[in-house]
Amino acid sequence: MKRLWSLFLSCFLWVVLTPYALIFMGAASNQIVMIANHDSMPVLVNQQRLAEFTEGHDVAEGMLDNRHSILTNESHLVFLADIFDFHDSIESVGDMLLDAGSGLEYPCFIAWLTLIIYTRKVQ
């Protein structure tokens, strides 16, 4: 186990795997909140946002579409739901982790290559 850990550290695999860990945590977070809320993602909306979402169609049983529901007192794991309003989108912690992981894939790969080349030159 120690040899495997030293290989992991010496090859800088943690740099390459960090974005994928963030993506996994974001996807898991979104799945957990959806499972807890009976296959729907609760969304925190105010009246103005609700009017924008429901313009042209009727809100049936608190559902905004086939995956998103209006956040209520009966919603579970509210801190993982879509509660952050960025004016152009409403996101959850999981969405932000997914975005961070996706945005870091290429820079982390470049950083990994740089570290490998640098350590090979030093040796």
For 109-121, write each residue's pLDDT tens digit: 999 989 888 877 7
pTM over 0.85: no
User: How far from chain centre, in Å, is Cα 49?
Assistant: 22
13-68 pLDDT tens trace: 889 999 999 999 999 999 999 999 999 999 888 777 777 766 766 666 666 777 88
φ, ψ of residue 103 in degrees (nearest 5):
-70, -25
